[in-house]
Amino acid sequence: MSTQEATAPPPGGGGAAPKRSAVWTQLWFWVVIGIAAGVVVGLAAPDFASELKFLPDIFIQLIKMITAPVIFCTVIVGIASIGSLAAAGGIAARALAYFLLMTLVALGLGLIVVNIVKPGAGFPPIPPDPETLAEAQADVASGSQGGGALEFIENTLLPDSFVGPFVENEILRVLVLAILVAAATSMLAPALRKRVVGGIDLFAKVIFGMIRLIMFLAPIAAFGGIAYTVGALGGESLGNLLALMLTFWGTCALFVVVVLGAVCALSGFNVFKLIRMIKDEILIIVGTSSSETVLPRLLAKLESAGASRSTVSMVLPTGYSFNLDGTCIYLTMAALFIAQAGGQDLPWGVQLGLVALMLLTSKGAAGVSGAGLVTLAASLQAFGGEFYTTESIAIGIAIIAGIDRIMSEGRALTNVIGNSVATMVVAGWCGERDDERFHAALDDPSLVRDAIEQETHRGDDEEDDTSADRTPATAGAH
């Protein structure tokens, strides 16, 4: 069976162009409306707007509720459908090699730019209010609980029970559980394996149906998130740290356009077309400042765009913990900004040591808004020494906390674009990408706009089919 035969035809069928939906029926349109309304309310009624943070918080909580089951199901179905643990291991090894390279590039780029621009040089001390300082000290305390590689494996990676990671929503541990279950399922007899995969796939369709319902709240969450940001932070607090914000956002843009652009070009596609294809998810992130809110949608969308289910289910969830490009840029820039604001000029040897440490600590950052701040505190606390005392870390974190939400959006956007690129690049690298379908989706994003709806309805005509034992883009390739 050829790749083209195994791949479901693009939505709309045949060669006829799909009928375009009216703009007001599309999610991105209402998210834009929500963002614009949030800006207006934040400027006109800042006191009221600063109380609206509960709207994106509720949305993020609902998404977090289903993220672990989505990852668990998709990873099992993706790996077990391959039928070969060696093939799955090859995909994982290449993905991890790619993640390590991009992490080094992102950390290095942030380090170079912050040394050139020096946004913290001559920065006037900002005495934080007691409440903000107390929160910063709490971040430092939580960050100090981290340890070395062994403690990371024991306390962050390995589950201590089967249901615990789901209860605590510990995505990395859920991923480990899913890989173990998938490996065990792959060793079953083909007929039994098909029954197990089919059952899990059926449950996944229910979860994706829940996602469709929750996404109706995305415009409301975007409205509340933007209104809160504008109303609570105001112009004065943003102006104090404008240099850091502009430097960070400019560096993220440089990374996406130059670094990821070059990676995409080498893989045979255009990064701007990919960004256009995932614009719905990008707008949701702008409103919620969280990349976790779009993980379930991306799983379905990238598979619909031509990447095999096995590759998407392995690369994308793993990338959410191991390929955080925006977070890496933020860590080096914020760490040196704190040192510069305190009047310290770190030697290059010390800076490189800090980068080496962050190569590990950046892997503990999650896709939730605010996680980067705790990870920064953990990194500086672990580094310690004469340059970063507990008091200086707490004050530095308190200063940055005022603009962390705005920087959080930059982190989340860069992380999601980076992981979307990683998924399609690794898929192409491993021969797990249907290029004809992918380029069609890049040229016409409407082909994958309804990917989640297709996911929930897929299989309606396949109940007596054997499709549970294949991957969408590469059935029969193994």
Beta bridge partners of 307: 433
R_g of the chain computed on alpha carbons: 22
Using CB atoms within 10 Å of the CB of residue 60, give its burial: 0 to 12 exposed, 13 to 18 middle, 19+ buried: buried
Bigger pLDDT: 76 or 151?
76
**pLDDT at residue 367 tops 50:** no
pLDDT over threshold 90, residue 120: no
**Cβ pair 245, 238 in contact under 8 A:** yes
Query: Residue 220: how many CA atoms within 13 Å on its side-chain side?
Result: 10
User: Between 377 and 36, whose confidence is greater?
Assistant: 36
As for how many domains the chain has, the answer is 1
Mean residue pLDDT of the chain comes to 75
Tell whether 472 is covered by a domain: no
pLDDT tens digits for range 217-272:
878 887 887 787 677 655 444 444 678 888 999 999 999 999 999 999 999 999 99
Give how far Cα 338 sits from Cα of 143, 170, 477, Å.
16, 30, 52
Q: Which two tokens stand for residue 87?
A: 């093939």
d(CA 6, CA 310): 14
pLDDT for position 186 = 79
Residue, of 248 and 78, whose pLDDT is higher = 248
Q: Is 351 helix (H, G, I), strand (E, B) or coil?
A: helix
Which residue did the predictor score with more confidence, 400 or 141?
400
Say how far apart CA 146 and CA 98 lie, in whole Å: 25
pLDDT digits (tens, 9 = 90+) for 395-414: 677 667 656 667 778 888 99
Q: Identify whether 434 is part of a domain.
A: yes
How much is the average pLDDT of 186-215?
Answer: 82
Gap between the Cα atoms of 473 and 478, Å rounded: 12
Cα 40–chain centre separation: 28
Cα dihedral sign for 449, 455, 457, 459?
A: positive
Q: Does the residue 126 lie in any domain?
A: yes
Counting Cα atoms < 13 Å in the Cβ hemisphere of 439 gives 7
Q: Tell me the β-bridge partners of 433.
A: 307
Tokens of 151: 């403690």
CA 275 distance to own-chain centroid: 14
Whether 352 has a pLDDT exceeding 80, the answer reads yes
Per-residue pLDDT, 22: 66
The pLDDT, as a whole number, for residue 258 is 96
For residue 68 the two structure tokens come to 């672990």
Per-residue pLDDT at 338:
82
> Is 185 inside a domain boundary?
no
Q: How many percent of the chain have pLDDT more than 90?
A: 17
CB contact at 8 A, 283 and 32: yes
* Residue 326 maps to a domain: yes
**Cβ atoms of residues 393 and 337 within 8 Å:** no
Residue 325 · residue 331 · CB < 8 Å:
no
Mean pLDDT calculated for residue range 292-320? 85
In which band, very low, low, confident or very high, does the pLDDT at 439 lie, cut at 50, 70 and 90?
very high
pLDDT, position 460: 47
CA distances from 396 to 154, 368, 390, 404 (A): 30, 21, 10, 12
Question: At 454, which CATH number?
Answer: 1.10.3860.10
Identify whether 396 is part of a domain: yes
Quick check: is 64 in a domain?
no
Range of the domain at 442: 85-170+238-462
Q: Which residues contact 214 (CB under 8 A, 6 or more apart)?
A: 59, 62, 63, 66
* pTM for the structure as a whole: 0.66
- Is 319 within 8 Å of 418 (Cβ atoms)? yes
Dist CA 279 CA 65 (whole Å): 24
- pLDDT greater than 50 at residue 53: yes
The single-letter DSSP state of residue 434 is: -
Report the sign of the C-alpha dihedral through residues 332, 248, 390, 121, in that order: positive
Residue type, 429: W
Look at residue 4 in the predicted model and tell me its pLDDT: 36
More confident residue, 13 or 290: 290
Q: Which tokens sit at 118?
A: 């020096």
Helix runs in 161-217, H state only = 164-168, 171-186, 190-214
Q: Which burial class, exposed, middle or buried, applies to 346 when counting CB atoms under 10 A from its CB (0-12, 13-18, 19+)?
A: middle
Tell how far CA 104 is from the center of its chain: 18
In this prediction, what percent of the chain has a pLDDT beyond 70? 68
Q: DSSP characters for 57-118? A: HHHHHHHHHHHHHHHHHHHHHHHHHH--HHHHHHHHHHHHHHHHHHHHHHHHHHHHHHHHH-
**Is residue 412 included in any domain, yes or no?**
yes
The whole-number pLDDT of residue 142 equals: 53
What integer is the mean pLDDT of 347-366? Answer: 74
Q: What is the pLDDT of residues 334-348, one digit of tens each?
A: 888 888 877 777 888
Instruction: State phi, psi for 120 to the nearest 5 degrees.
Output: -95, -5
Closest CA to 183 of 86, 57, 107: 86
Look at residues 393, 331, 406, 400 and name the one whose alpha carbon lies nearest to residue 364.
331
Q: Mean of the pLDDT values across residues 129-152?
A: 54
Q: What is the pLDDT of residue 14?
A: 40
**Mean pLDDT score, 184-188:** 83
